[in-house]
Structure 1
Amino acid sequence: MRKTYSPSHANRGAGLERLIDMTNQQYRNKGVADIRKIPTPVQIQSNVRGKVTGYITKGEWVDYAGVHNGGAIVFDAKETSSKTSFPLENISEHQYELLESWWLKGAHSFLLVSFTKLDEVYRLPFGVLGSYWENARKGGRKSIPYNIFVLECDLIESEKGYVLHYLK
């Protein structure tokens, strides 16, 4: 079994987003791409003498957006503890719609999906996601089987000095 990244040493306890952020910094440093994490939207309720209170609002975006080789990239990072499938309920309607909209306009739209118990990360292209999403809407399967990731998606590994080289 191939491993995507080592949970030991420096990466121990690091979540998928932290590993992506590290990789994105490497991409920027080397001039490969400029991909940024989209901040979680917060609604400010009050600001009294520097003490700010607020709450997280429903986002309209996915986790990451940027540019690589002159083209737009949008994607979201997802984790599942399942060893057999990725539940589509892990994706919100607005995330799917944004990925679809950008994909239809020529952007690279995808999910990075971590199977945490298998220690594997896959890049799930929008085309594959879209076919399962539409099938689920019609009453079909509500998850994507693990074997589809193995057969139709790219396994993302630490390579060429990148923590998670998802732009290869």
Structure 2
Amino acid sequence: MRKTYSRSHANRGAQLERLVDMTNKQYRNKGVADIRKVPTPVQIQSNVRGKVTGYTQKPEWVDYSGVHDGRAIVFDAKETSNKTSFPLNNISEHQYELLKSWHQKGAHAFLLVSFNKLDEIYLLAFKSLETYWEEAKKGGRKSIPHSTFMMECDRVKSDKGYVLHYLKHVG
């Protein structure tokens, strides 16, 4: 039986990640920050005469890490086609725990959340994520309303020549 996959599912987050990657290159080129995409780990199964076979492992990290203004920075880029809320199940437990641990140690920790159908991108600070995450664990709402993003988060846009100038909202 041939295994099939959904292209849209396989490429979730690809559009936002492209924008972030371009921006991070701009930040590096201008000496503002050094933030890089963390590669997905690969388990190599065999290497026969230069032909390598393997599979991607479940990532145990977030999408991006680096340094800005002498301080560590870690974040994940998330996209949703939902217009009214951001489902918390888009974040894995290990991603949340990593963001929490780094936040507790003084790093800038956050999510960049893209509402694809609304053409809006927001920076969700870890403290806001933590509030909703802990409520959900207690049986509360399992998503963050779009209205929360509009009222409490910074909207990230192209600015000052940067493709997606998210660092201006990191403080």
Distance of 2:150 and 2:73 partners within structure 1: 23
CA-CA distance at 1:50 after TM superposition: 1.0
* 2:48 match: 48
What's the TM-score, normalizing by structure 1? 0.91
Deviation at residue 55 of structure 1 after TM alignment: 0.8
Same amino acid, percent of matched pairs:
77
Match of 2:137 in 1: 137
Q: Deviations over 1:26-73 (max 9, x none)?
A: 000001000000000010000111111111111110000000000000
- The whole-number CA distance in structure 2 between the counterparts of 1:117 and 1:82 is 7
CA distance in 2, matches of 1:120, 1:48: 47
What's the counterpart of residue 162 of structure 1?
162
Q: Report the aligned-residue RMSD.
A: 0.7
Residues 62-99 of structure 1, C-alpha deviation per residue, up to 9 Å, x if partnerless? 00000000000000000000110000000000000000
Counterpart Cα distance in 2 of 1:95 and 1:52:
29
Structure 2 partner of 1:85: 85
Show structure 1 runs of 5+ residues with no match: 1-13
Equivalent residue letter for 1:66: G
> Match for 1:115: what amino acid?
F
Higher relative contact order (CA 8 A, sep 6+): 1
Stretches (4+) displaced over 4 A: none
| Residues matched between the structures, number | 155
Matched, 1:69 2:63: no
- The residue number in structure 2 matching 1:6 is none
Aligned to 1:101, the other structure's residue is in SS state: helix
CA distance in 2, matches of 1:133, 1:122: 17
